[in-house]
Amino acid sequence: MSTLTKILIVLLSLFSLFLCGTIVTYVGTAKNYKSAYEDLKTDVSALQEKNKSYQQQIEEKKRQMDELSKKLDSEIANLKTEKTQLEQDLKDAKVAKAALDEKVQSLAASAMKFEQTVGGMESSLTKTRDELEQARAEGIKLAKNLNEITASLEEKMAQLQSLDAEKKRLLEEKTKLEQQLAGKAGPMGTIEPVTTIPDTATNAIEPPPTTALQGKITAIDGSLVTLSIGSADGVVKDMIFHVIRNDSFVCDVKITDVDTETSAGTIQLIQQPPKVGDIVSTTW
């Protein structure tokens, strides 16, 4: 037997052993492959079920997404409409704001002009008030002087009336004496004087008292003022009292009614309203 044949026999033996081992291995593992296949088949079925479930869930989610998309589209459309309306409202508001700004500027200009006018009027009013106060003070002074002149004039008139009466009496006495002298010169009847000789001269109007009278205002009723002094203190009708408060002239009171303890009169030459408790005096 040659070497090549021996080698072939050895290789054939090895191949036979390998083939036997492969067959034995295949037979030994055939059951394991079938079990694995059954397991894989079961797993595939389970996966298919899961896939089907997942497909259903995906379909449900897709349906929900479609509904949500429609809802969002509707909301977006509403928001766009609202945006358009808001933009229009904003434009209208800007136009209204511009009109209001113009009106405010106009009102501010008018207010400044009015303020200037009021300032001028206040200045003019202050000046007028000062002039009025001066005129009132001058009027009060003139009224006081007029009262004094009137009293003096009444006194002079009374004296004049007295002098006229005295003159008439002296003239009648002169006529009588002349007639008596003429009677001595020749027989003549006695002639009575035409004018009756008064026993006394006409009394003059009593001048205002030299002593100042002073009292207080006890009541005020409109333009009628009641004083705390009366005829017992020397108050007579038509007497003028000056109302004084804190050394300032308030007004005059002309007496219209006189009682023993009180008197009343009307307000004149008002510079400020009198109050109960104000001092009244015939001099100031």
Give residue-wise pLDDT tens across range 85-139.
Answer: 999 999 998 999 888 888 888 888 888 888 888 877 887 788 887 787 777 777 7
Name all contacts of 34-42 with Cβ < 8 Å and 24+ positions apart. none
- Give the helix ranges, DSSP H, for the chain: 3-185
CA distance 105 to 91: 21
Q: How far apart (Å, rounded) are the C-alpha atoms in residues 236 and 154?
A: 16
Question: What are residue 220's DSSP bridge partners?
Answer: 225
Tens digit of pLDDT per residue, the chain (284 long)? 678 787 878 888 888 888 887 877 776 666 566 677 788 888 888 888 888 888 888 889 888 988 998 889 888 999 999 899 999 999 998 999 888 888 888 888 888 888 888 877 887 788 887 787 777 777 777 767 776 777 677 777 777 777 877 877 888 888 888 777 877 655 444 444 444 444 443 343 344 445 789 999 999 998 899 999 999 999 999 999 999 998 889 999 999 999 999 999 999 989 999 999 999 999 86
**The tokens of 243 are what?**
């109302």
E strands of 66-161, at which residues? Answer: none
User: Which pLDDT tens digit goes with each residue over 24-49?
Assistant: 777 666 656 667 778 888 888 888 88
Average pLDDT value over all residues in the chain = 81
Beta-bridge partner residues of 236: none
The pLDDT, as a whole number, for residue 228 is: 95
CB atoms within 10 A of CB 121: 11
The DSSP secondary-structure symbol of 2 reads -
Report yes or no: 255 and 242 within 8 Å, Cβ to Cβ. Answer: no
Task: Determine the Cα–Cα distance for residues 273 and 248; give it in Å rounded to an integer.
Answer: 12
**Which of 238, 223, 232, 229 has the alpha carbon at shortest distance from 270?**
223
In angstroms, the CA 199 to CA 144 distance is 37
- pTM score, whole prediction: 0.32
